[in-house]
């Protein structure tokens, strides 16, 4: 993409926000007492059986949760932020020839919408295995869809063919400054909305004792959102964390940072399908910087399912599996919970949770929860008399 590219700074995110405000929704930041109480309640020792923390004393953090609900964003995901920012920075000559990208869903729909808004052609390369609802959503925006195989080589070959034939500008899904800066705008809103919520609700300020966020946790696939959040909150004192699925090596960012080298290929069928992508070179440079991203954590498929059930049933909020990986980390990853207990102390932490999107279907959700043996154990309450959770990964 040959459009102008500002530096990756908080000031650039603020500028990006002003540019895209006319085209995006100001999505709500919500609280939920039940989930904050659950996050602040130690896991039962039974729940830790069979995990890396078996036999250890459960952590006892104090946590207040603030959910940035990008599932209510246009096209149902945060991706429109980066897409509108990237298209908005193209020259008139570039726009005239259109844009092209490869994406299995959310970025595809986002770029198609941005292109439609600016009345320019959009060419979207989608793997044939893409979710039917996301293909339909992309097509409904008037985009030209080109199908490809699922490997990066197959997608890139079709991209290059379209560029040769049309002269369209490639707008990558995540690994570009304009995309990263656009995605980071959600963190600016989350920070301000949280401060207003606490200021306007004495219960929140008394309960937690602070006036703003201590940390934000965001899901990590290609790393565009996490890089954007880290850039937006740089210098604010708010710690930024990343969350990934562990299934079939989907936690490539975590493993790469631990090894000191970017993992370039990932092959996983985690239910968090939006997080199956490895980091790009640019997002790696941000996410591997400990000054920008404090740490990364991973969770199991069961953790994701249980967190998703909680959001659906307790928050009445329609989300896709990728959206709840951060919440799953807060609820079930003892390494993260111990960190909050240690650094938050008696006051605890206000934690912002990025819900990345809600692009799934009732049919897909039904399949996720179809097998009885995979369902989380149900319970009437959240906390038992002994002060521990009444059941493993309570989801009732």
The predicted-structure confidence for 159-205, as pLDDT tens digits, reads as follows: 999 999 999 999 999 999 999 999 999 999 999 999 999 988 755 54
369 and 342, same structural domain? yes
Given the residues 79, 239, 292, 305, select the one marked as catalytic: 79
Q: Are residues 208 and 329 in the same domain?
A: yes
Is residue 197 assigned to a domain? Answer: yes
Residue 21 belongs to domain with CATH number: 3.40.50.1100
Residue 245 near residue 275 (C-beta atoms within 8 A): yes
Cα separation, 255 vs 105, in Å, equals: 26
Q: What is the pLDDT of residue 311?
A: 97
pLDDT for 113: 95
State pTM to two decimals: 0.89
Q: What is the DSSP string of 126-165?
A: EETTS-HHHHHHHHHTT-EEEEE-SSHHHHHHHHHHHHHH
Both 83 and 46 in one domain: the answer is no
Q: Which of 80-84, 135-139, 265-269 is the most confident on average?
A: 80-84
- Rounded alpha-carbon distances, angstroms, from residue 5 to 1, 23, 180, 281: 9, 20, 11, 16
DSSP 247: G
Over residues 292-296, the mean pLDDT reads 97
Cβ-contact 24, 84 below 8 angstroms: yes
Range of the domain at 47: 10-76+179-374
The reply to whether 253 and 360 lie within a common domain is yes
Q: From the candidates 36, 104, 148, 227, which is the catalytic residue?
A: 104
Same domain, 328 and 351: yes
Helix/strand/coil for 51: coil
Question: Is 257 found in the same domain as 233?
Answer: yes
pLDDT at 248: 93
Domain count, the chain: 2
pLDDT band at 3 (very low <50, low <70, confident <90, very high): low
Residue 97 burial (10 A CB sphere; 0-12, 13-18, 19+) = middle
Token reading at 373: 């043996």
Same domain, 137 and 114: yes
Say whether 104 is catalytic.
yes
Average pLDDT value for residue range 128-156: 86
Distance (Å, whole) CA 272 – CA 221 = 9
Residue 348 lies in a domain: yes
- Retrieve residue 231's tokens: 């850039």
Distance of alpha carbon 186 from alpha carbon 26, whole angstroms:
9
Reported as a pLDDT band with limits 50, 70 and 90, residue 383 is very low
Average pLDDT rounded to a whole number, residues 339-362: 94
Which pLDDT value is given to residue 203? 58
What contacts 103, CB < 8 A, 6 or more positions away? 111, 124, 125, 126, 173
45-53 contacts, C-beta under 8 A, 24 or more apart: 45/388, 46/392, 47/332, 47/389, 47/391, 47/392, 47/393, 48/334, 51/334, 52/334, 53/334, 53/335
* 162 and 18 co-located in one domain: no
């Amino acid at each position: 993409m040959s459009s102008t590219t500002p530096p990756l700074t908080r000031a650039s995110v603020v500028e990006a926000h002003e540019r895209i405000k006319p085209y995006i929704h100001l999505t709500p930041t919500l609280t939920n007492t039940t989930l904050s109480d659950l996050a602040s309640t130690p896991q039962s020792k039974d729940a830790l059986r069979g995990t890396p923390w078996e036999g250890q004393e459960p952590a006892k953090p104090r946590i207040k949760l603030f959910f940035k609900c990008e599932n209510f964003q246009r096209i149902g995901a945060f991706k429109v932020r980066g897409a509108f920012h990237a298209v908005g920075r193209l020259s008139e000559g570039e726009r005239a020839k259109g844009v092209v990208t490869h994406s299995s869903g959310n970025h595809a729909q986002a770029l198609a919408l941005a292109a439609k808004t600016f009345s320019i052609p959009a060419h979207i390369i989608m793997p044939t295995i893409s979710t039917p609802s996301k293909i339909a959503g992309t097509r409904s925006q008037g985009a030209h869809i080109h199908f490809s195989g699922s490997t990066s080589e197959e997608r890139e070959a079709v991209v290059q063919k379209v560029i040769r034939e049309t002269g369209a500008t490639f707008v990558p899904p995540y690994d570009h400054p304009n995309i990263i800066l656009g995605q980071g705008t959600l963190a600016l809103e989350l920070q301000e909305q949280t401060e207003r919520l606490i200021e306007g609700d004495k219960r929140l300020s008394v309960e937690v004792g602070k006036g703003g966020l201590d940390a934000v946790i965001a899901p990590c696939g290609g790393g565009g959102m996490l890089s954007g959040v880290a850039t937006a909150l740089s210098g604010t004192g708010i710690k930024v964390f990343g969350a990934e699925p562990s299934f079939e090596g989907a936690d490539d960012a975590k493993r790469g940072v631990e090894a000191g080298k970017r993992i370039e290929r990932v092959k996983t069928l985690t239910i968090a399908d939006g997080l199956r992508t490895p980091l790009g070179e640019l997002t790696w440079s941000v996410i591997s910087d400990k000054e920008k991203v404090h740490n990364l954590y991973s969770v199991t498929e069961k953790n994701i399912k249980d967190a998703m059930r909680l959001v659906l049933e307790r928050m009445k909020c329609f989300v896709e599996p990728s959206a709840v990986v951060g919440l799953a980390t807060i609820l079930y990853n003892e390494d993260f919970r111990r960190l909050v207990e240690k650094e938050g102390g008696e006051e605890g932490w206000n934690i912002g949770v990025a819900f990345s999107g809600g692009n799934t279907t009732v049919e897909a959700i039904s399949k996720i929860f179809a097998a009885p043996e995979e369902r989380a154990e149900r319970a009437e309450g959240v906390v038992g008399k002994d002060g521990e959770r009444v059941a493993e990964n309570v989801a009732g």
